[in-house]
Structures are given as structure tokens and as C-alpha cells.
Structure 1
């Protein structure tokens, strides 16, 4: 279920640099997403890859679910260089993992504000770091995917905007 091998940062950075070079040719950015159940599970590892790759179009996808479940504090997120933020994802979940960690991430996410995550605290942290981009709402849910698309969109929007309304 969980990868235990240590990430070979120089090797991954070399591969990431190659992807960034190819992406730069067509004007796109590339993001590494930290996942607590893989060998890129810490900010230290992920930022090491980005830093060693050395391309401005390479950075991170910061998802609240992966930060909370991976034990990464929002204080750590707030200290990231603004240039490292290529995308930010917000969602929510129950306090405890449901099933395995993979099942939790693939089937049990909730709309922002419906779970135990501190969504406003997360937003404050990424904004403190200098992120000024668009937020993605990534609610992967076995239950919610059965809902009509318009209802999903409305609940995603309403739940997310309610979190922004709670900011300091």
C-alpha cells in the first residue's frame, strides 16, 4: 500500500528536467504532486527535485488532501517559494482515513467545508507563500460522482467560496 523506497532525488530531478525542457518548448508548466503513499511524500523531497531540475516552468501541485494525510503542516507550505506553486487543489475529508489510504484518496473525499480539514488555514498558507493563481477543486468521491454534474459543480463552488469567506 505504501512505498517504502527512498526517492533518488538526483535521478528524479534529471528526469523532471527533461520533461520541463520538452514542456517549455510548447509553453506549458509541469508540476510534481506530493503523495503520502509514494516515494515523493515530503516537501523536502519534492522541492529538492524541483530545485535540482532548475527550470522555471517546473514546480509543485499542492493538494490539501496530500498535505493533511502526509502530515505536512500548513506552516511548511507557507514557507515555499511562490515560484514553486504551479497548481493548488482544495477538497476535504473526514478526520480519519476511510479504508486504505488509496481508498480514502480515490473514493472518500468531500467538498470543501464538509469534512475535518482546515480549508481556510490551507488557503491562508498558500497565499502567505505568494500563490495568486486559480484553485482546483479535486473531490474524488464514489458517492459524489453519482450526482448530476450541475449539482456537483454547485456544491464544489459553494463549498469552496464558503472557505474563502472564512479567511483571516
Structure 2
């Protein structure tokens, strides 16, 4: 098992600090947000200098998270999405990062299920081809608050795309809160299609409540509704033995000391997976 610090867990920090904290708290890798990386580059940093820092702290970049809104289908927006995919993949290759996360948000909510599937298949086919030029794989994260929110849908898109560099990330909260995926489905998966695990907690939507991740996910592991032990067991039963990444999307806990956030993330991951 490889353990990665998630950049969103220490959202109010920068990419260089994240490398140091990941090293000091026992992580092997960092799941890096592109906004953190590109902010670093825009203000005088270079990919070569960042690689030197990675080597200094002995931290890999396991994933760049994420290319968002992959359902963009208007011509100009789609062109921008593909350009963004190329930019992220070039950076990933330079940092020896094997995986880029992709996700649809609410850009296709108002379309028919048929059109949503068609657009996602077409877009991911082209994104996968871009990644193949750089040796990059893509993990699909299905998102609880969108119509594309179940593991079954993710696997159907992977089959439709037919590329060997597209898989999924098993995100405990998204799959639980989306309401249509069970741990048993994960346990029965082909582990080769699992490119990462997001170890996290939260709750489902309350009646009359609007979706807001910073509300429904404002929980440390063990504080929410997710039966984490059951999801962990399911992932292990699948045979997966790759990157596990505790993801803390919690405005309350983001105000804790950054080092302590990382230490708590490591402690909870270790407690549930050892």
C-alpha cells in the first residue's frame, strides 16, 4: 500500500509546504491539486525545481487532481477542456506522476441520460488519447451531486471508451452519498480498474437541503455516516494494493494546524487499514 497526502486536506497551503508535511508525517506521495502546482509555476517556480524538492523530501506525486467538468461540449468550452488536459498531462509527465483525475460536475445535468453518456464517452475518448501521448492514466471520480454518480456508470463509460488508460477512483463519500453504489460492488471489481482510493467520511443529503460538499463532507473519518471499515474491507477484497489517499474536505478541520491535519489523516488511515 502506498499512502498519499491529499492536497485538498491541506487546502490553505502551497505545493512546496505540502511536500515537506507529507514527508514529515510519513506519507509516500502527494495527490497534488493543479491550482497549487500552476500557482507555484506562475510565481517563479519550475517543474525541475519542484522535482528536486520531491527528491529531497522523498515524496512522489501519485495523482494530479483534477481535470474538472469533462462534460464540456460547446465547441469553445470543449477546446479549452482539451487544452487543459494537455497542459495537466505535460506537467504530470514531467513530475513522473502516473495518474490524472477526471470528473464531470454539473455541466451536463440538464441533458438526457443518452446525451450525457454520449458526451462523456466522446470527451473521455479524446482525453485518453491525449494522455496516452504522455504515458498518463486517468481515474474517473463519479460525483455524488451529479447525475453521473455511481460506480456502475463509471464502469460503463470505461467500457464504452475502450482505452487501457482509464479507470476509477474509489471515493468512499461520493459512492456512499450518491446512494446507488454498495461496497459489495467494489469488492467484486477488477482491481486493475481501480487507480486510487479516497479514504473519507461525510453524510448523505438531508431532506430539503441543497448540495454543498463543505457541509456534507465537513467530517473527519469516524465522525460521519460512512461505514468506513466496510468500504476498506471491500477495496481489500477486490485485490487492490495501490495508492490510498485520505481526503479531508472540511472547512472546520482546515483551520487546524496544517501539520496536524496531515498527521491526523495518516493516523486515521492507519487505524482503519492496518
Distance in 1 (CA, whole Å) between partners of 2:150 and 2:127 is 21
Distance in 2 (CA, whole Å) between partners of 1:49 and 1:95 is 25
1:130 to 239, 245, 262: 239
TM-score by length of 2: 0.54
Distance in 2 (CA, whole Å) between partners of 1:24 and 1:133 is 21
Query: Match for residue 200 of structure 2?
Result: 91
Does residue 1:113 correspond to 2:222, yes or no? yes
Deviation at 1:94, TM superposition (A): 4.6
Greater mean deviation of Cα atoms: 107-116 or 123-132: 107-116
Deviation at 1:66, TM superposition (A): 0.8
Query: Match for residue 174 of structure 2?
Result: 66
Does residue 1:33 correspond to 2:33, yes or no? no
Change (3 A) 1:144 1:39: same
Change (3 A) 1:51 1:101: farther
Query: Match for residue 158 of structure 1?
Result: 267
Distance in 1 (CA, whole Å) between partners of 2:244 and 2:209 is 27
Distance in 2 (CA, whole Å) between partners of 1:95 and 1:10 is 28
1:139 to 216, 240, 248: 248
Does residue 1:49 correspond to 2:188, yes or no? no
Structure 1 residue runs of 5 or longer lacking an equivalent are none
Cα deviation per residue 1:38-97 (whole Å; 9 max; x = unaligned)?
A: 121122221111111111110112100011111211011112221211111011125765
Larger Rg: 2
Deviation at 1:99, TM superposition (A): 8.4
Partners of 2:205 and 2:211 within 8 A in 1: no
Distance in 1 (CA, whole Å) between partners of 2:269 and 2:142 is 22
Query: Match for residue 19 of structure 1?
Result: 127
Does residue 1:9 correspond to 2:117, yes or no? yes
Aligned residues: 163
Partners of 1:10 and 1:49 within 8 A in 2: no
Distance in 2 (CA, whole Å) between partners of 1:148 and 1:31 is 30
Greater mean deviation of Cα atoms: 133-142 or 110-119: 110-119
TM-score by length of 1: 0.85
Partners of 1:4 and 1:39 within 8 A in 2: no
